[in-house]
């Protein structure tokens, strides 16, 4: 049997260059306090041996762990995975976060935490002790959980808060959800719709209130009545059905609906068909999220595209800058959403 080739380690590099492990670590980490001739000597050994730096070697300097921890809501994420619903929030987080981390020589570690757990502080403290991350990315509803942000503040760990609903410490990053809802409402109004319904998400997510605010603002600016056109859902398919039933009943029904996520939009599509309403001839429909499933419906759904990958990448950039230089933006950083026009919207009959 052929012997497995032994991996080249930092110890091999140090021995070949005739220097200490700490010196090799400082060269790998591009620290300024290394003499040029020493840097050249170590680099020559790295090139000669084909050494690829590992996180363990990079962490030897003690100043950085080269790890960033991203936290997502455990219950909702696991429920989506088990239902295989096609939601790709986690995928997009990994896409943006992992690629940006790789550019900086970092790794992204993804953890699920139950924001309602009585043990959340203990869970988070244990994860931090094990990983010693250089920074943490918080997604809703963790972005507004004072127990989580309190632990991070106490340990002086830079953290980014995606779509936070309340002011506080940390790096705030938003996708301009109120502006996106306003944009979607204006788009429907420009098509000629005046009865534009809105199915909102649950209050525990700050984006739900922002999207409602954007819809209300656009309707008010246009002088359009909102009575009987609002329904509070919870991001589930069932709540989307309930909302669609409420908005599509009676002679003065909505001629267009904006649903605050794709699951509620799919439910609206189903209810409309049960009522004999054609999309978009009888009802225009816009969704939030723009997950892959909306491109496989008939017709394909016009959707607000949340730039989750770009937000995750921006969070990594800002966390690394905060850890390295202590630089934290004074105001929330905005990565705006776009509206992707497809076949589910048209002027009213």
Cα torsion 120, 124, 125, 130: sign: positive
How far the first Cα of the chain sits from its last, in Å, is: 75
Q: What is the pLDDT of residue 1?
A: 41
Distance separating alpha carbons of residues 54 and 49, to the nearest angstrom: 14
Which distant-in-sequence residues (6+ apart) come within 8 Å of 198 by Cβ? 181, 185, 211, 212, 215, 226, 229, 230, 231, 257, 258, 260
Could you give the angle at which helices 120-131 and 146-154 cross, rounded to 10 degrees? Answer: 40
| Omega within 30 of 0 (cis) for the link into 338 | no
d(CA 7, CA 266): 51
pLDDT value, residue 80: 81
Q: Please give the average per-residue pLDDT across 202-212, as a whole number.
A: 93
The pLDDT value given to residue 3: 40
Task: Give the pLDDT confidence score for residue 86 in this predicted structure.
Answer: 65
Residue 58 confidence (pLDDT): 54
- Residue 76's pLDDT band, with cuts at 50, 70 and 90, is confident
> Pick from 203, 84, 65: which is nearest to 135 by CA?
65
Distance between CA atoms of 20 and 22, rounded to whole angstroms?
A: 5
pLDDT at 203 over 80: yes
92 phi and psi angles, rounded to 5 deg: -70, -35
Please answer whether residues 335 and 175 qualify as being in contact, where contact means their C-beta atoms are separated by less than 8 angstroms.
yes
Q: Is the dihedral of CA 146, 162, 140, 211 positive or negative?
A: positive
How much is the pTM? 0.79
- The superfamily in CATH containing domain 10-59 is lambda repressor-like DNA-binding domains (1.10.260.40)
Domains 10-59 and 177-305 share a fold: no
The answer, yes or no, to whether residue 4 has pLDDT greater than 70, is no
Q: Is the pLDDT of residue 75 over 70?
A: yes
Q: Where are the domains of the chain?
A: 10-59, 67-175+308-335, 177-305
Strand 256-259 to 230-232 pairing: unpaired
Listed in sequence order, the DSSP H helices in the chain are: 10-17, 21-28, 36-49, 55-59, 74-83, 89-103, 120-131, 146-154, 177-191, 206-221, 237-247, 262-274, 308-325
261 pLDDT tier (thresholds 50, 70, 90): very high
Give the pLDDT band (50/70/90) at residue 324: confident
96 or 66: which carries more pLDDT confidence? 96
Pick from 184, 112, 137: which is nearest to 337 by CA?
184
So what's the pLDDT on residue 329?
92
Q: What percent of the chain has pLDDT over 90?
A: 66
Q: Please report where in the chains the tokens 């225009």 appear, as a residue.
A: 284
pLDDT above 70: residue 19: yes
- Paired with 259 in beta bridges are 199, 287
The string of pLDDT tens digits covering residues 122-179 is 889 988 988 899 999 999 989 999 999 999 999 999 999 999 988 899 999 999 999 9
| Residue 5, pLDDT score | 44
Q: Grade residue 326 by pLDDT with cuts at 50, 70 and 90.
A: confident
Average pLDDT rounded to a whole number, residues 192-208: 95
Domain 177-305: give its CATH code. 3.40.50.2300
Distance from C-alpha of 35 to C-alpha of 55, rounded to nearest angstrom? 23
Question: How sure is the predictor about 247, in pLDDT bands with cuts at 50, 70 and 90?
Answer: very high
pLDDT of residue 303 exceeding 50, the answer is: yes
CA distance 36 to 170: 37
The predicted pLDDT at position 59 comes to 55
Mean pLDDT of 297-315: 96
Average pLDDT of the chain is 90
Q: Which CATH superfamily is domain 67-175+308-335 in?
A: Response regulator (3.40.50.2300)
């Amino acid at each position: 049997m052929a012997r497995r080739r032994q991996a080249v380690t930092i110890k091999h590099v140090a021995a070949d260059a005739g220097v200490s492990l700490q010196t090799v670590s400082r060269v790998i980490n591009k620290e300024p306090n290394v003499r040029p001739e020493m840097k050249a000597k170590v680099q020559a050994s790295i090139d000669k041996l084909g050494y690829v730096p590992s996180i363990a070697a990079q962490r030897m300097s003690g100043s950085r762990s080269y790890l960033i921890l991203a936290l997502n809501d455990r219950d909702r994420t696991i429920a989506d995975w088990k239902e295989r619903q096609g939601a790709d929030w986690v995928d997009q987080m990994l896409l943006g976060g992992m690629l940006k981390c790789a550019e900086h020589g970092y790794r992204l570690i993804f953890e699920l935490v139950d924001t309602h757990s009585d043990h959340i502080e203990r869970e988070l403290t244990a994860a931090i002790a094990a990983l010693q991350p250089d920074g943490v990315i918080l997604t809703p509803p963790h972005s507004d959980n004072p127990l989580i942000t309190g632990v991070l503040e106490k340990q002086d760990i830079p953290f980014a808060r995606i779509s936070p609903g309340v002011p506080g410490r940390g790096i705030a990053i938003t996708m301009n959800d109120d502006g996106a809802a306003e944009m979607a409402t204006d788009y429907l109004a420009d098509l000629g719709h005046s009865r534009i319904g809105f199915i909102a998400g649950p209050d525990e997510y700050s984006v739900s209130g922002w999207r409602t605010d954007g819809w209300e603002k656009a309707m008010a600016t246009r002088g359009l009545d909102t009575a009987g056109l609002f329904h509070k859902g919870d991001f589930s398919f069932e709540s989307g059905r309930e909302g669609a039933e409420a908005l599509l009943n009676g002679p003065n029904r909505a001629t267009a609906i904006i649903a605050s996520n794709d699951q509620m939009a799919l439910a609206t599509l189903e209810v409309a068909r049960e009522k004999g309403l054609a999309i978009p001839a009888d009802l225009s429909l816009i969704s939030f999220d723009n997950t892959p499933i909306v491109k496989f419906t008939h017709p394909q759904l016009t959707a607000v595209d949340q730039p989750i990958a770009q937000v995750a990448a921006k969070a990594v950039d800002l966390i690394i800058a905060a850890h390295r230089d202590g630089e934290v933006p004074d105001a929330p950083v905005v990565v705006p959403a776009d509206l992707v026009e497809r076949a589910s919207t048209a002027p009213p009959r």
